[in-house]
Structure 1
Amino acid sequence: MDQDLDTAFCPAGTGIIFRDFGDEMVVANLDTGIFFSLGGSAPAIWAALAEGHSARGIATAFGGDPGILASIGGLLGQLRAEALLTPAASPAPAPAAGVAPWAFVTPLLERFDDLQGLLLVDPIHEVSEAGWPLAPQTLGGAG
Structure 2
Amino acid sequence: MRFLVDTQNISHERLNDEVIIINLASAAYYSGSGTASDLWTLICQGASTEEATKLLASTYKYDESAVSRDIEACVASLVKAGIVLTHDMPSATETALSLPAVDRGDWTAPHFDEYLDMWDLLRFDPVHDVGEAGWPVATPHKA
TM-score (ref. length: structure 1): 0.79
Q: Is the counterpart of residue 24 in structure 1 residue 24 in structure 2?
A: no
Contact 1:16 1:28 in 2 (8 A): yes
Counterparts in 2 of 1:86 and 1:138: CA distance versus 1, 3 Å = closer
**Alignment coverage as a number of residue pairs:** 133
Match of 1:124 in 2: 127
Instruction: Report the alpha carbon displacement of residue 124 of structure 1 after superposing the two structures with TM.
Output: 0.8
Aligned match for 2:49, one of 46, 55, 65? 55
Aligned residue identity for 2:49: A
Aligned residue identity for 1:46: W
**Which of the pair has more CA radius of gyration?**
1
Instruction: Report the alpha carbon displacement of residue 132 of structure 1 after superposing the two structures with TM.
Output: 1.6
Q: What is the rounded CA distance, in whole Å, between the counterparts of 2:54 and 2:94 in structure 1? A: 10
SS in 1 for 2:21: strand
Match of 2:74 in 1: 75
Match of 1:137 in 2: 140
Instruction: Report the alpha carbon displacement of residue 89 of structure 1 after superposing the two structures with TM.
Output: 7.2
Contact 2:79 2:86 in 1 (8 A): no
Q: What is the rounded CA distance, in whole Å, between the counterparts of 2:89 and 2:72 in structure 1? A: 20
Q: What is the rounded CA distance, in whole Å, between the counterparts of 1:37 and 1:30 in structure 2? A: 15
Match of 1:4 in 2: none
Contact 1:31 1:120 in 2 (8 A): no
Q: What is the rounded CA distance, in whole Å, between the counterparts of 2:40 and 2:111 in structure 1? A: 11
Contact 1:10 1:87 in 2 (8 A): yes
Match of 2:90 in 1: 91
**Root mean square deviation, CA, Å:** 2.6
Q: What is the rounded CA distance, in whole Å, between the counterparts of 1:50 and 1:120 in structure 2? A: 27
- Report % sequence identity: 23
Q: What is the rounded CA distance, in whole Å, between the counterparts of 1:50 and 1:58 in structure 2? A: 11
Contact 1:11 1:84 in 2 (8 A): yes
> Once the two structures are superposed, what CA deviation does each residue of 1:47-99 show, in whole Å capped at 9, x if it has no partner?
101111011111111236101000000000010000000134742467979x7
Q: Is the counterpart of residue 66 in structure 1 residue 71 in structure 2?
A: no
Contact 1:10 1:51 in 2 (8 A): no
Q: What is the rounded CA distance, in whole Å, between the counterparts of 2:96 and 2:141 in structure 1? A: 54
